Amino acid sequence: MLSKEEISLFINVVKKVSTYDFSDYSERSFARRIDKILSDNKMEMSALITKVKSNPEFLERVVKDITVNTTELFRDPATWQALRFRVLNKFENQSVINIWHAGCSTGQEVYSMLILLNEMGLFEKANVFATDLNSDVLSIAKKGEYKYRFNIDYLDNFDKVINENPFNYEDQVSVAYSKYFQIDQTRDLLKMNDFLVNKPLFRKQDLINDGNIFYTKFDLILCRNVLIYFNHELQTRIFEMFHQNLFAKGYLVLGAHESMLGPVASKYVRKGLFYVKK
Amino acid sequence: MSYKAVIIGGSAGSFQVITKILANIPAGFDIPIFLCLHRLKHVRTGFEEALSIKSTLPIIEPYDKQHIRPGKIYLAPANYHMYMELGNTFALSTEPPVNHSRPSIDLSFFSAAYTYKNKLVGIILSGANKDGALGLKQVKLAGGTAIVQDPNECQVKTMPTAAMAATDVDYIFTTDQIISFLKKI
């Protein structure tokens, strides 16, 4: 595996020739990403550094390959069930609900949210914003088109979140998938319906440099399995930034095995999977 | 030789072996043990509890950036890769499965080898694929001790056999021998 010194050298070169700053990334997981890029490109570290210096397009490619883009429709159904019955219902009486998906990747959780909002009758009053550093994944998110075969678990997750109520087993509905997306097995496509695709505002944004790029605060920020790639200090800065951009009693939703450590945690009240702004 | 950590990788056929090892770890064991075990895709919860029943030490599925403490057993959470960072913290990752596995045994072993160098014991148990072979090789390259479960004892011998092909292991042990080795360190 790459040494700390090789990693620092790479990070310093990138910092000099671009606005990207990976200094506060979690070291071993960052080393792993660079290892993968080296082996995918059949390159040595010295060649990678030379090419990154001289070729801005290659640098953009490398930055995109560093970011991890794993996401699913209704990933961790229990989280979405809790969002439905314990969180979003609290906003029912508001006239507007502002939601930010920070690090939305290819957008599956944005669509999960829109589907849930629609089932709860909150679709019209919601403003849904979504950002990512990687413009390639944002183009996929904007289209709302996914491979079907590869993502067959989506249907199980949909049933768990939309058709079942874990807090009341007698409360079962049967919403058809076609209400929200069309499955074309011959073309191996799962395509979100237009009314969902047209709703969110997708924007390219660098969580570290840009902060909140929308002229509003939020009732709910989802940032799931994004900050795990940052070290503790940078995580803390982002938690502070989220805190400043949440409305009082606004919710922050992290990934299933993420948590908030250190003094910043005292600015939030932890409620199970969720962090509520004090 | 004073070791600072033990990392164990296992897949098909390893559950009973792990359970037996965990039941026999002495209560005063004062270094962390990392478990990177493949599980069925839909078994996301309950694994920690199942392993805990007979374990002498507490079993934890760590959160990202959680501190690594001595005398605890850490199980890689479902659907995450688990890395051990310098400074005694975990880092989790959701990057795609490696060799169809997330958690990947190779990736956990790579980071542990980097972080603990010659103070690490790496153990590969029964399993039906080659995950862990490169990881154990890295443990050995970094100066650590490489152990495989005796293939003759394994329910599925592919994984220890692959590890033996990838690197010159230090010990080929039965479950009981693994336990006595751990009791002595």
DSSP labels, B163-175: HHHHS--SEEE-H
Which of the 8 DSSP states describes residue B62?
A: P
Task: Report whether B8 contacts B125 (CB < 8 A).
Answer: yes
Number of residues in chain B: 185
Domain ranges of chain A: 4-66, 77-143+196-277
Are B148 and B160 within 8 A, CB to CB? Answer: yes
Q: Is A33 in contact with B95 (Cβ distance < 8 A)?
A: yes
B61 vs A contacts (CB less than 8 Å): 257
Q: What is the CATH number of the domain that holds B82?
A: 3.40.50.180
From first to last of its 278 residues, chain A has per-residue pLDDT tens of: 788 899 999 999 999 999 999 999 999 999 999 999 999 999 999 999 999 999 999 999 999 999 999 999 999 999 999 999 999 999 999 999 999 999 999 999 999 999 999 999 999 999 999 999 999 999 999 999 999 987 888 899 999 999 988 888 788 889 999 999 999 999 999 999 999 999 999 999 999 999 999 999 999 999 999 999 999 999 999 999 999 999 999 999 999 999 999 999 999 999 988 999 99
What does the alpha-carbon distance between residue B153 and residue B151 come to, in Å, rounded to a whole number? Answer: 5
The structural domain count of chain B equals 1
Q: Which residues of B touch A (CB under 8 A)?
A: 61-66, 77, 79-81, 83-86, 89, 91-96, 107, 110-111, 113-115, 138
Residue of B62, B65, B83 lying closest to A28 (CB–CB): B83
Q: Residue B116's pLDDT is what?
A: 97
In 3D space, the residue among B108, B143, B120 whose CA is nearest the CA of residue B5 turns out to be B120
pLDDT of amino acid A228 = 97
Residue B64 among the catalytic residues: no
**CATH 3.40.50.150 is the classification of domain A77-143+196-277:** yes
A129, containing H or E segment: strand A126-132
- In chain A, residues with a C-beta closer than 8 Å to the C-beta of B90 are none
**CB A182: neighbour CB atoms within 10 A?**
13
> Helices (DSSP H) in chain B: which residue ranges?
15-23, 47-52, 105-116, 133-141, 158-166, 175-184
* Residue B77 to residue A1, Cβ atoms within 8 A: no
pLDDT band (50, 70, 90) for residue B40: low
Rounded CA gap, B35 and B33, in Å?
7
Determine whether B77 is exposed, middle or buried from the number of CB atoms within 10 Å of its CB (0-12, 13-18, 19+). Answer: buried
Distance from CA of B105 to the nearest CA of A (A): 13
Residue B142 has which token pair? Answer: 């970094």
Strand arrangement, sheet containing A268-271: A201-204, A126-132, A97-102, A218-222, A246-253, A274-277, A268-271
Phi, psi of B78 (to 5 degrees): -55, 135
User: Based on C-alpha coordinates, what's the Rg of chain A?
Assistant: 20
Question: What is the rounded (10 degree) CA torsion for A132, A137, A139, A143?
Answer: -110
The pLDDT of residue B46 is above 80: no
Predicted confidence (pLDDT) at residue B68 exceeds the cutoff of 80: yes
Q: Which of B55, B46, B62 is nearest to B24 (CA)?
A: B55
Residue A236 CA to residue A227 CA, distance in Å, equals 10
Q: How far apart are the first and last CA of chain A?
A: 42
**Are B63 and A68 in contact (CB < 8 Å)?**
no
The nearest alpha carbon in chain B to A71 belongs to B94
**pLDDT score at B39:** 81
Residues on chain A touching B83 (C-beta within 8 angstroms): 26, 28-29, 32
Question: Would strands A268-271 and B5-10 be described as parallel, antiparallel, or unpaired?
Answer: unpaired
pLDDT score of A272 = 84
| Radius of gyration (C-alpha) of chain B in whole angstroms | 14
Annotated catalytic, B42?
A: no
Instruction: Note whether A32 contacts B138, CB cutoff 8 Å.
Output: no
Res B43 pLDDT > 60: no
**Rounded Cα gap, residues B136 and B8, in angstroms:** 10
